[in-house]
Structure 1
């Protein structure tokens, strides 16, 4: 059981194979399905296809009898049974003697390709719809309208329901090129988009997650047919809910049954070459999450970010370990809480009746600043906020604000754009930060705000909420970003941000955090340091 838990905590397929002892290549590439995995060797694609999601459907489901829309066969098999510890031990006893030593290495192609976006944009080398894929359809005897024909030595094949014209591809690329997201949300995806060539490349793993979970459904709106949009959007919602910070058992059970339906919908649309082992493994992700918890606590992104931080410390490449140790030491010195240390030192000297400490210095160490300040940026609740004016020339969008309110005992979300950041200072360093925003009219459903069947929220930019209370407490603000709605030019689609520092608490659980907590400003601490050091020296 411990091995299985450790195995499920790794998200990369090679590590999955090393820890489980089960090869993730070939016909039986899924350790969970083991010997009962549904796989087919494609003659012209020269690879294994893992169509067969219908096995996980209920035995009386109508799609089990549908041959023409899937692989041309009736599906009478039940879902693969789960392996027990005794079953694994029996398999180990059947192993042949192992000969240790070096084997001839094969070159591996480690490119991380996004099958969906590559197929939709028909990117060479990344698309799963090519001549060999069409010849495999003909070999399997399914989808006769997509079979290729040969004339005068050339092959011809018809367009599919997901085939896009050059104008439609350009529209998707322009949308992705224009997207601005908050800091920490993803990298600058627009740098990876080529509108002229209609290509997307050099995406990092986390960018691929953001593209699939958030941006791709927005980019496809009004472009692809409804059946294609529904299937891809359901897959997007599956990964978005699965990767959330808080998972409930009921939600996982729903995802467990829903992903089977989604994969079956995809099998009716895309060719068999699309369904490699990575697509098949999605059917087990919800089950794994029920065993070992939320996905985000098991993936490699935090470790990769930390390794990136260590790499930035390396100035002398011949001595990387020494550079990292020195950088960590300096970083630790900067992170010391100077304010508490300084206050403790001044109070101690004052009690000892030291001549270098007077009443002014003691008051300064306690904090006695007054006045009103304005900022163009502010960090709170784990989010970095910028005013709309500041972000005009930036590639990131940090001005979107979400505040939860209540109207007539009914919860309502208010969406706005941040215009001003004002800080009110009080005695003993007490500060209140206010956000002044332009708010969209969310009181009129359908005209000011609307929700589609997938839960996406859109706001009408021509309707603002006229109010005498444009200010909200910064501590109440959550960050969102807006992307253009391709089907409605005057509407923006809301994408909610995420903070790595804050978590949703279950209902009824009390938090020990003070609601009137105030944030320290580093500029004031530095100013105190300068004044106090001068006074202590004199």
Structure 2
């Protein structure tokens, strides 16, 4: 009866209101003016809740929980080059540092060779090299790109007959500024990276880096190393064009000399005392994946020569297989399930049900005409059925 009169219980409980009153009483700071304290705290809470809709998505508020290692979704101009649209968020303050000639050339060349808008010019430069010397090997082409492409690209774009009228392309060909910003940490790809000098005083390690290698050579090697610096370079003129680079010290990627992979378990190991002999320290921050280097237990006092590489998985990501095989759905049981097979074959031969109490009379085809009515009389012990061609049926029960 109470449910019929009052309705659902949640609409007549006092518990929600009592909990809300408890929440208001906790906001009291001045017991001499209780009502004023409650009103002031309530207005501050409502104003802050309204203002949080205008905060950046990376800011954690009371009513919104952002991912722990989320990238900063900063507004990006649609007319910018693809390399200036990469996500990422720096950690902490920055300091200024000037790049020396060797670092400047390496950073500038790497940015040019990995920009999609510069790919046509790279192909043009390779064609010119092969016309001058058709016998060039792929490794020699890579060496020429690393050495001379940046200067060739700048001179080619600034020529009046080059048909390049994009101001952003001309600014991009001039190269970045030497004065850069250096950070100690960076959020990208769901990872939190720290430089090596910061991890030297902590128990955790976020400075392990790996990247997929690619070149004109047939064999592609994975590069494993340590993160030394996080550098943000900027290009001249407006709009502001910035890109973040990771400066890394790489282990030797040569198979079976600096890097080895277990044939059965695919475990990767690197030789800790061998370094990459080529000066290519820079990669884009968005290209980096995070690894952890684990030392093998040994009774020797010196540092272990080979260390194991453990690839880390980004937070809030789930790796799904691209294709499912029947083996993925096997039941985890030893005994076979008992079942009964069903005969799914359909019998095509028709079977007639014959009543032994019915008498049949044979009729000739000549005696039956389509204009005459056909009367069939079926006599049985239980009923008499008369059927005619006008589809009328009469039942006479005995």
Name the TM tier (shorter chain). Answer: 0.3 to 0.5
Higher RCO structure (Cα 8 Å, ≥6 apart): 1
Query: Which is helix-richer, 1 or 2?
Result: 1
Query: Which is strand-richer, 1 or 2?
Result: 2
TM-score scaled by length of structure 1? 0.27
Rg larger for: 2
